[in-house]
Structure 1
Amino acid sequence: MEISSVDVKRSSDQSGRVTHSAAEYVRMSTDHQKYSTENQSQEIREYALRRGFKIEKTYADSGKSGLNLDGRDALKQLIDDVQSGNAQFSIIIVYDVSRWGRFQDADESAYYEYICKRAGIRVCYCAEQFENDGSPVSTIVKGVKRAMAGEYSRELSVKVFAGQRRLIELGYRQGGPAGYGLRRKLIDQNGAPKTELVRGEHKSIQTDRIILIPGPEQEIETIRFIYESFVAAGKSEAEIATLLNQRGALTDLDRPWTRATVHQILINEKYVGNNVWNRSSCKLKGHRIANPPEKWVRHDKAFEQIIDDETFQAAQKIIGDRAKHYSDEELLDLLRGLLDSHGYLSGIIIDELEIGPSSSAYRSRFGSLVRAYELIGFTPERDYRYIEINRALRRMYPGLIASTIRGIEAIGGMVRQDRDTDLLEVNDEFTASLCLVRSQETSSGTHRWHVRFDMGLRPDITVAVRMNQMNAGILDYYLLPRFDMEASKLRLAEDNGAGLDAYRFDELDALFELAARSQLMEVRHGLGSIY
């Protein structure tokens, strides 16, 4: 391959031979362990030596999926260096087309390569049988390789789904926490019990399996109390949540009970021993979708049941009768009746109606509450529902702080809490501040979350805890580092793109692991002479 001296940055080695400055990009995906970053780098450096290239910089993404750019910080940094003009190299060497990425849209892979080409930087694939020289042959072969890389991920997804489906049908648990009143138990391939897994623990042997077992007696009694109160005593989910909170009971996440958390207990089939999977799915890094019941995968009576079938079915009938289908006009008639009786309408007034649709039903049907109000001729000056939401969030906040501290300590970290500001200092290395962020509906019916950074405390990490659209439970967590957040506030949407969603996590385990890594670094510093 001939490279024009006009197109590349040159330097000289000690022998005086002219060399071309290059960067290497390596990626190891968890589904393809044989291509370790070390092996890729060795092949790349041998290739560079043969071609007279000098590796000036390494970009490495370890254990990252190649389906898209999310989480691939090294590739994002490489593209940013290229676009900003900070790249001190004119060649990028990658092991093969699949290491650049298994993008589901082959054009996305081509786009990132084109960004480099436009900046005068060539991408070379050292293990491919073609020269990436822009010739018609290389263009055709490269296009086929990109399509094959994407197809590999699709085929792998189908195989993984089939394997998971088979395990569910055999009665084994697939992923996720056990939930309140239940625990995960590890068994070997012959069904012999091994140990009970605590939160955050995973199986280490491929042939091991996980089943659900009843948890502590106190939690089991709470679940039975919930069903008895709902079915026999006729209490609502909100009333049951109030009773549980008055008792000082907490959920499995050490948080106060809400209407939503009680409701989830009442509708989940695992309490009658049924193993149900694929209620929702998110394939190939796409959007999560709710699947119809006919696509669910199930194994009835896979686990020991806590609630008997008759009681569970009675609860489902109550919920089903309450959630009858309303026509648009019936929904609006109910809204007019509420307006006549209260003289005003708000989300909280609608949700306080025990027998009838919730405010989310109006949002879903008409696009937004404001639109539903307009259809009955009501113009609100302001929806004061946020006041009740803020009160609930203030009650929830201490429990969130306490559970975060316990999570850090459980993984071996050390944490101190400033009682005045609730700022957490972890391992004497970094500080973290937690903020609960309520969901706000826009006039168009979409949702936004406004994060305000404490510029006085200036924590190293701000943990933005996003509430779901009903503000009834936690949606997800954003771990926002101070050095990447320049403004005093940030507005999050439902989808925020790779730049922000790289900081999004479903659980706080990422913060706990950060605390564990910090502690490991401290140990290594103390044993520096060994390394």
Structure 2
Amino acid sequence: MAEYYSKNLARETMKGFTENGYKALHNGGTPPLGYDVNEEKKYIINPREAESVKLIYEMSIAGSSRSEIINELNERGFKTKIGTVFKANSIHSILTNEKYTGVYIYNKTAKKDALGKRNGHAYKDESEIIRVEGGIPAIVSREDFEKVQEILKMRRKKPGTNKAKENYLLTGLIKCGCCGKPYQGNRRHAKNKPMYVSYRCSFRQKTSSRFVTIRKSVKSTLKNMCCLK
């Protein structure tokens, strides 16, 4: 009976959440930066927070780096939803949140796994997700949101571009003649010698670092075995 009651309660609770979803009502938890929730559980714009969201999108479209955006936000005194300073992770979640275009979204994130952990990057099938166009007030335009998604896509293709200390104009354009992997910029500074900037195969760098890790692991294992003897 206790098991039946528990499962039935879960079904009824989920049914209530689903009904709220189709009405574009807040279903609990902390609302995204830029929004508050009124007594009717409707999303309303928080003017001060919305200003920071607009700034993040404007600077991203203008080509500013993640660190430049964070510095500008913190210098102007903006805070995250929980009242802390901005960091890289908080910026990424804002830039990829479609709700800022005015779309209410519910039931998007996949369920917890067998260990009770949830992967925030794993999503349910589109047929299970509740989407209500115009369900909440928009803070950024659909056009600006799509521009930012294109910028993020390009950055994923060139992961080292924003962290590089030099301008590598050929990154992503030239590939290795042996394995076909893209070349990436590399800078070396030997003692008493000038800076040496070049391009090298990204696969070569990954495999060499992997071999170094394996070599260290083998040495450590052998050392432990000798100690046991």
TM category (shorter chain) comes to: 0.5 to 0.7
Normalised by the length of structure 2, the TM-score is 0.64
- Whether 1:315 and 2:161 are equivalent positions in the alignment is no
Structure 2 equivalent of residue 172 of structure 1:
25
- Whether 1:247 and 2:76 are equivalent positions in the alignment is yes
Distance 1:325 1:243, change over 3 A: closer
Distance 1:342 1:252, change over 3 A: farther
- Whether 1:375 and 2:207 are equivalent positions in the alignment is yes
| Residue type at the aligned position of 1:286 | G
Number of matched residues?
Answer: 182
**Whole-angstrom distance in 1 between the partners of 2:11 and 2:57:** 38
Question: Once the 2 structures are TM-superposed, how far is the Cα of residue 310 of structure 1 from its aligned partner?
Answer: 1.4
Distance 1:244 1:265, change over 3 A: same
Structure 2 equivalent of residue 222 of structure 1:
52
Deviations 1:312-355 (A, max 9, x none): 121122223433599xx999945x735x4357xxxxxxxxxxxx
Distance 1:211 1:332, change over 3 A: farther
Structure 1 equivalent of residue 198 of structure 2:
none
**Whole-angstrom distance in 2 between the partners of 1:313 and 1:176:** 27
Deviations 1:61-80 (A, max 9, x none): xxxxxxxxxxxxxxxxxxxx
Distance 1:287 1:257, change over 3 A: closer
Q: 2:11 aligns with which of 153, 158, 163?
A: 158
**Whole-angstrom distance in 2 between the partners of 1:155 and 1:178:** 28
Distance 1:283 1:337, change over 3 A: closer
Question: Once the 2 structures are TM-superposed, how far is the Cα of residue 291 of structure 1 from its aligned partner?
Answer: 2.2
| Residue type at the aligned position of 2:143 | E
Distance 1:316 1:177, change over 3 A: same
1:38-77 correspondence runs (5 A)? none
Name the structure where strand makes up a greater proportion of residues: 1
Distance 1:376 1:162, change over 3 A: farther
Distance 1:325 1:235, change over 3 A: closer
- Whether 1:291 and 2:144 are equivalent positions in the alignment is no
Larger radius of gyration: 1
**Whole-angstrom distance in 1 between the partners of 2:59 and 2:158:** 25
2:43 alignment partner, SS class = strand
| Residue type at the aligned position of 2:153 | G
Distance 1:264 1:274, change over 3 A: same
Deviations 1:248-295 (A, max 9, x none): 322222211112211211111221222112222338983324223513
Question: Once the 2 structures are TM-superposed, how far is the Cα of residue 177 of structure 1 from its aligned partner?
Answer: 0.9
Distance 1:324 1:252, change over 3 A: same
**Whole-angstrom distance in 1 between the partners of 2:70 and 2:51:** 15
Percent of aligned positions with the same letter in both sequences?
25
1:421-460 correspondence runs (5 A)? none
1:411-426 correspondence runs (5 A)? none
Structure 2 equivalent of residue 183 of structure 1:
36
| Residue type at the aligned position of 1:253 | I
Are the aligned partners of 1:373 and 1:379 in contact in 2 as well (CA < 8 Å)? Answer: no
Deviations 1:199-240 (A, max 9, x none): xxxxxxxxxxx111001x332222111111111x11122321
* Structure 2: gaps (5+ residues): 160-174, 190-203, 218-229
Are the aligned partners of 2:49 and 2:78 in contact in 1 as well (CA < 8 Å)? Answer: no
* Structure 1: gaps (5+ residues): 1-96, 99-148, 188-209, 344-371, 382-442, 444-531
**Whole-angstrom distance in 1 between the partners of 2:35 and 2:107:** 20
**Whole-angstrom distance in 2 between the partners of 1:249 and 1:243:** 9
Q: 1:257 aligns with which of 86, 93, 113?
A: 86
**Whole-angstrom distance in 1 between the partners of 2:54 and 2:113:** 36
Q: Looking at both structures, which has the greater relative contact order when contacts are Cα pairs under 8 Å and sequence separation is at least 6?
A: 2
1:164 alignment partner, SS class = helix
Question: Once the 2 structures are TM-superposed, how far is the Cα of residue 155 of structure 1 from its aligned partner?
Answer: 4.4
Normalised by the length of structure 1, the TM-score is 0.30
What's the Cα RMSD here? 3.7
Distance 1:276 1:308, change over 3 A: same
Structure 1 equivalent of residue 44 of structure 2:
213
1:341 alignment partner, SS class = strand
Distance 1:324 1:158, change over 3 A: farther
Structure 2 equivalent of residue 44 of structure 1:
none
Are the aligned partners of 1:184 and 1:213 in contact in 2 as well (CA < 8 Å)? Answer: yes
Structure 2 equivalent of residue 234 of structure 1:
63
Question: Once the 2 structures are TM-superposed, how far is the Cα of residue 159 of structure 1 from its aligned partner?
Answer: 3.5
Question: Once the 2 structures are TM-superposed, how far is the Cα of residue 185 of structure 1 from its aligned partner?
Answer: 0.7
Structure 2 equivalent of residue 337 of structure 1:
184
